[in-house]
Structure 1
Amino acid sequence: MQGAKPAPSKDSGGSAPLLESGLATLAGRKPDNEDAAIFHWPDDPHLREYLGAVAAVADGVSSAEAGAHASKTATRQFVSDYFNVPDTWPVARAGEKALTSINSKLYRLSHAFTQQEKGYLCTFSALVIKSRTAHYFHVGDSRIYHMRGAELRQASRDHTVILGRQRQMLVRALGMDTALQVDYGRIDLAPGDRLLLTSDGVHDFLPEETLRGILSAPDASAQHMANALVQQALLAGSDDNLSAVVLEIIALPATTLDEYSRQLTRLPFPPPLEPGMRLDGFLVERELYASPRSQLYLVRDTASGEQLVMKTPSANYADDLHYIDRFVQEEWVGLRIQHPRVARVLRQQRPRTALYYLMEYIQGETLAQWMQHNRFPKPTRAFRLLQEIAAGLQAFHDQETVHQDLRPANILIDRDDHARIVDFGSVYIAGSAEIFRPLQHSSALGTASYSDPHTLLGRNTGIRGDLYALATIAYELFTGQLPYGEEINDCRARGDYERLRYRDARQFNPVIPLWFDRALARGCAIDLEQRYHTLDDFMADLANPNPRYLRDDPSDLHHQHASLFWKLLCALWGVTLLALLALFSSP
């Protein structure tokens, strides 16, 4: 996306800068382009004002076979994550959160393909232009330059070491290690400034005099400058991929947003809300839920008439900075995860006078209530709901986040009989600099029944903790019971959990086949060595009999019932297949 170039003015007349952009990226003499370059300046005036514009260049590490995938993932996800941050966050924190998540994803992908020697590594340089400041984030040997007048300065530093005979080695890259070191800095802007991001295929082959000459052309557009830089590097003998992004600052707002940001991060907690009260254009209709930690209200947007859910923090924690930080993070997590099986968090379009966030209103009942009204549901219906919960949970994992508090009370069944995961209060972000803290739910009765015992004892088990919760919910869906009974709520130490014994699901529901029961047992195994490692493996073993679990005694009293269960599931999969074939064959 390119910004239009209005008549130059020192004052933009608003709170957002005016700028022009140019972007060029080529494979050059290489068969494939492993560079990725991006520029995004949202059309929404609110986002332009409070989040600004983003430009980024990433260069896939040539020795890593998945470098092209890494660079595209890094640039696209950085833009997506950044523009989904709450406006309560400063740029530095938003960028750090996004990059730690990206780094964790690339590192995980690299280690998932160790046998194929496939590495997801790339350098990364980004600029966020907000108000009167350029914020930069940098890892590797791509570069960021700042030009004012005739002076050209390299703002970033190359993360390389010299090995001799003009050989250099990259010492930092996204996806290289679990711990990410990012250079962050700020550049105070002035009208007429020009900013440049390049991959090494450009700056390694052009001296600074050439860069300065191209960037100082008085009547050249930003796009013309980006094209000229790439073409000049090719003429100079560049044998690498080439990328250049040029930004020209046309005008700047008269005042900065720093004061606004400081006020926003110190927003007061709203008072207890009553029906009929108004807050920032939202009319309170009724309270939906209240706990010692938060409140949920059904509100109506007086401008659009839309019903929404407003979540507010509890006044009990008004002086708890960690609690406030976690509450704000909930909004960020919800804005990042866009999936039909996860409740949507909505971006606030009006300035806030108090601390809260908004979610879509889903009419229905919790899974806990649904199970009370639907004891021993049809296997096909129960399995479909379980698939939907798993799909929503996978959406969290795809964003390198772990829900950590999956339980029937945090799953809604809407009026169309579909499952939706709600509540982001306990989410853990993989790769984040935050210290892991075990779950504490003193006011949530029954939570210990679904939370991984290792998590409750202070060990972060990642997605396998969510898998334990999903398996426990699956067991309860099909049996109406818990796999370890009510005794699990009394466990306090590791030895207490080790004394627990899994209760065969078939004793509570005779239609459950042996292989299905054994998959459930492995999903909620307390011993991590026995538990599944991925949701896909767990769901696959529930959907298709694992040969290892089919060694059954022919005299088993459950044999005939298991056959019926299997036939019902096969009927479901057959109907689903026919529906998909009809969908893809339709014009």
Structure 2
Amino acid sequence: MYLSNEIELETGQCSEKGRKERNEDCLGTYQPEGNLLTTKGAVAIIADGVSTAEAGAEAAQYCVQEFLSDYFDTPDIWTVSKSAQKVLTSINRLLYARSHEYLSTTRGHVCTLSVLVIKSRKAHLFHIGDSRIYLVRNQSLELLTEDHITRLSESNSCLSRAMGMDTHLEIDYRVIDIEEGDLFLLSTDGIHDSLEPSQLKQLALSDSNLQTCSENLVQAAYDAGSTDNLSCQLVRIEKISDDTLNEITDRLTDLPFPPELERGMKIDNYFIESELYASNRSQLYKVRDLETEQLWVMKTPSHNYEDDPAYIERFVMEEWVGSRINSPNVVNVHIPNRAKNFLYYLMEPIEGVPLDEWIEANPTPKPAVAIQIVKQIAQGLKAFHKRETLHQDLKPSNVMIRPDNSAVIVDFGSVFVAGINEIFVPIERDRILGTMNYSDPVFRLGQNTGIKGDMFSLAAMTYEIFTHNLPFGDGLENCEKPQQLQKLKYIPADRHNPIIPIWFDRALEKAMTIEPQHRYDTIDQFMHDLTEPNPDFLVSREVAQKSPNALIFWQLMSLVWFMIALFTLIAFWLK
């Protein structure tokens, strides 16, 4: 991987039972090497078993062990937040389930938890309960977490939140920038309840060896009369990777661009059968592997961008991202088992035609066939989103339709990967705006609408499949300023195709509403309303706009119609 955000950390930790009969705290650290450190970061974690819960110690141990194991097994394309939240949610559910396997309410698997993840130039904090994370910077101590405590009286309190306490996990999440020399202190209440903040800072800085400092903190808390378990961790940022633009560029250009290819030429033992496509940004060739006789599609970068590191980074990322998305509705990226001498990547060949050609050849498609194509494109999009990846340039020419009318998304050139975007590089990354008539106009004006942007593109394509027209006419082509957004007018689909049901058209309109907050939240919600009549959408626009009272009346009537018409409408539409 060209990204190499190496960080150097020093750590120290100590955990003692103190004056209690057993130690119910647990802690751990892990700093991987290579790509895993770049994509997932390093972790320090501390947990404190709740003493009133009989299985608190087991809960703390389980949290630490499972997080350190499972977090690094999450996809390297995910953000820190998504990876940690997924793992913590799973851990919490299991602890809660274990607690309720017993009739006794004292047999609770409950603990506090604080997690520190250092990735690139950021520290990600996850916290629940009354363990703590501090930051020592420039001789100042700052508490970064908030205790989840409910005061019952002046002398009594209880935890309001903890791992395993509830089925719903409400965990604090915070991200801060890090600097070289930053020192993080993670502690359980046996430490920080017994020592003043000034003592915590002094002891954390008492020695250059962090293991010695950790032991000093434990001993000082014991000497101060702590009656609880005593656990703490120290993590110091020794060095942050500071790659220069030249260093990144050197790694990106480790492989040269291929020469201009023609039929009959060979490259890395691939025979060029024909050119399939060419633009000012890339070329596609049909190639044959001379070792296996397998046919592939080879994508090569354009020589127009040989000195553009942002373009090269995006091209390199296409193969990396594509190889991590697995769906029958997304083209398979092939990773060869031999070294490459040039910059390119291989994809499976897809027999068929681009969707734009299919639309031209099918001016009045059968609704059942058309909706199946839309469903498969939606499934492909969901495979991207499952990997926290946005397509950002979904359009008919980027979708292939096989002879059996199955659909495959075949392009990765504009993807946005949240997990990779977290990694700092000294490059001003390309911001691909998508194709004018299909991309979210809000995105084009600078606002990233996430999956709602891809949904807008899917809805625009669906509209075109069923009407052979665009939902805003040529309005999107002239949308360059915020004021122009307000002038965009959706053209009802039934004006172009009168057999389109009103509920189908209203679903399309909602998915392409200019204000993203009024769109569907998920692709599944959109597809549900495309395939099953939504009662709210059985009211015509004219009635809805005429008067509120009329709207209420017709909404009530539509409920009756809905029960009668549901199966007949679906049967007629999908026949």
Normalised by the length of structure 1, the TM-score is 0.58
1:519 Cα offset (Å): 1.0
TM-fit CA distance, 1:347 = 2.0
Aligned partners of 1:70, 1:401: CA distance in 2, in Å?
29
Could you tell me how far apart the structure 2 residues matched to 1:429 and 1:421 are? 17
Closer, same or farther in 2 for the Cα pair 1:171/1:524, shift >3 Å?
same
Task: Evaluate the alpha carbon distance shift between residue 208 and residue 177 of structure 1 in structure 2; reply closer, same or farther with a 3 A threshold.
Answer: closer
Following superposition, the deviation at residue 562 of structure 1 comes to 10
What is the correspondence of 1:121-160 to structure 2 with a 5 Å cutoff?
A: 123=115, 160=134
Distance 1:141 1:480, change over 3 A: closer
The structural deviation recorded for 1:491 is 3.1
Residue 307 of structure 1: how far off its partner (Å): 1.0
Contact 1:448 1:488 in 2 (8 A): yes
Residue deviations 1:227-248 (CA, integer Å, cap 9, x gap): xxxxxxxxxx9899xxxxxxxx
Preserved CA contact (<8 Å) 1:71 1:122: no
Q: For 1:506 and 1:499, how far apart are their aligned partners in 2?
A: 21
1:349 and 2:327 equivalent?
A: no
Q: Give the counterpart letter for 2:351 in structure 1.
A: Q
Match of residue 567 from structure 1: 571
| Per-residue Cα deviation, 1:195-233 (whole angstroms, up to 9, x for no partner) | xxxx999xx9xx979xxxxxxxxxxxxxxxxxxxxxxxx
Q: Distance in 1 between matches of 2:174 and 2:414?
A: 22
Q: Which residue of 2 aligns with 1:466?
A: 454
1:103 corresponds to: 81
State the identity as a percent: 37
Q: Decide whether the 8 Å contact of 2:398 with 2:411 is kept in 1.
A: yes
| Offset, 1:160 | 3.8
1:229 — aligned with what? none
* Separation in 2, partners of 1:475, 1:74: 47
Deviations 1:250-284 (A, max 9, x none): xxxxxxxxx9x966742211111111211112111
- Out of 277, 288, 308, the position equivalent to 2:276 is 288
Three-state SS of the structure 2 residue aligned to 1:492 is coil
Give the secondary-structure state (helix, strand or coil) at the position aligned to 1:372: helix
Taking the aligned partners of 1:341 and 1:501, their CA distance within structure 2 comes to: 32
Change (3 A) 1:520 1:440: closer
- Please give the root-mean-square deviation of Cα atoms over the aligned residues, in Å: 5.4
| Map of 1:325 onto structure 2 | 313
Q: Residues of 2 paired with 1:539 and 1:77: CA distance?
A: 32
Kindly name which structure, 1 or 2, has the bigger radius of gyration based on alpha carbons. 2
Where 2:298 maps in the other structure, the secondary structure is strand
Q: Which residue of 1 aligns with 2:498?
A: 510
Give the C-alpha shift of residue 411 in structure 1.
Answer: 0.9
Relative to structure 1, the CA distance from residue 121 to residue 354 in structure 2 (aligned partners, 3 Å threshold; closer, same or farther) is: farther
Q: Report the alpha carbon displacement of residue 293 of structure 1 after superposing the two structures with TM.
A: 0.5
Cα drift, residue 503 of structure 1: 1.0
Matches within 5 A, 1:307-318: 307-318=295-306
| 1:41-440 alignment, distance < 5 Å | 76=70, 78-79=72-73, 81-82=75-76, 98=77, 101-104=79-82, 106=84, 123=115, 160=134, 177=173, 179=175, 265-430=253-418, 432-433=421-422, 438-440=431-433
CA offsets 1:415-452 (integer angstroms, 9 cap, x no match):
332111121111112362476754356xxxxx211000
SS across alignment from 2:516:
coil
Contact 1:58/1:75 (8 A) holds in 2: no
Secondary structure of the residue that 1:449 maps to in structure 2? coil
User: Which of residues 433, 439, 452 in structure 2 aligns to 1:451?
Assistant: 439
- Please tell me the residue identity of whatever aligns with 2:391: H
Q: Aligned equivalents of 2:26 and 2:493: distance in 1?
A: 51
1:519-550 Cα offsets, whole Å, 9 max, x none, are 11111112223322221221222222222212
In 1: Cα distance, 2:487 partner to 2:394 partner: 24
1:191 maps to none
Give the distance between the partners of 1:515 and 1:545, measured in 2 at CA: 6
Structure 2 counterpart of 1:459, one-letter code = Q
SS at match of 1:371: helix
Contact 1:411–1:419, Cα closer than 8 Å, also in 2: yes
- Read off the aligned partner of 1:291 and give its amino acid letter: S
Cα deviation, residue 363, structure 1: 1.4
Mapped to 1, the partners of 2:84 and 2:36 lie a distance apart of 29
SS in structure 2 of the partner of residue 526 of structure 1: coil
1:125 touches 1:139 (CA, 8 Å); kept in 2? Answer: yes
Structure 2 distance, partners of 1:532, 1:460, is 16
- Report the CA distance between 1:324 and its aligned residue: 0.9
Q: CA separation of 1:184/1:316 partners in 2, compared to 1, >3 Å: closer, same or farther? A: farther
Counterpart residue type for residue 115 of structure 2: T
Q: Return the alpha-carbon distance in structure 1 between the equivalents of residues 517 and 251 of structure 2.
A: 49
Report the CA distance shift for 1:267/1:329 in structure 2 as closer, same or farther (over 3 A).
same
Counterpart of 1:318 in structure 2: which amino acid? E
**Structure-2 change in CA distance of 1:271 and 1:458 (3 Å):** same
Shift of the 294–71 alpha-carbon distance from structure 1 to 2, 3 Å rule, reads farther
SS at match of 2:499: coil
Q: Distance in 2 between matches of 1:33 and 1:412?
A: 56
Q: Which residue of 1 aligns with 2:465?
A: 477
TM score, norm. by length of structure 2: 0.59
Residue aligned with 1:520, SS: helix
Determine if the alignment matches structure 1 residue 547 to structure 2 residue 539: no
Shift of 1:414: 2.1
Report SS of the residue matched to 2:443.
helix
Kindly provide the amino acid, as one letter, of the partner of residue 566 in structure 1.
Answer: I
How many Å separate the matches in 1 of 2:32 and 2:269? Answer: 30
Counterpart Cα distance in 2 of 1:71 and 1:436 = 37
CA deviations on 1:57-107 (whole Å, 9 max, x unpaired) are: 78597799x99899868855644645xxxxxxxxxxxxxxx57x2325656
Contact 1:512 1:561 in 2 (8 A): no
Cα deviation 1:376-415 (Å, max 9, x = unaligned): 2222221121111111111111211211101111111123
Q: Which residue identity is paired with 1:534?
A: T
Taking structure 1 as reference, are residues 105 and 140 closer, same or farther at Cα in structure 2, changes over 3 Å only? closer
Q: Residues of 1 paired with 2:390 and 2:145: CA distance?
A: 30
Q: Deviations over 1:281-305 (max 9, x none)?
A: 2111111111000111111122222
SS of residue in 2 equivalent to 1:529: helix
| Cα 1:36/1:387, change in 2 over 3 Å | farther
Distance across 2 between alignment mates of 1:395 and 1:73: 25
Cα pair 1:451 1:465 within 8 Å, conserved: yes
Distance 1:373 1:314 in 2: 31
User: How far has the Cα of 1:517 moved from its partner?
Assistant: 1.0
Aligned residues: 423
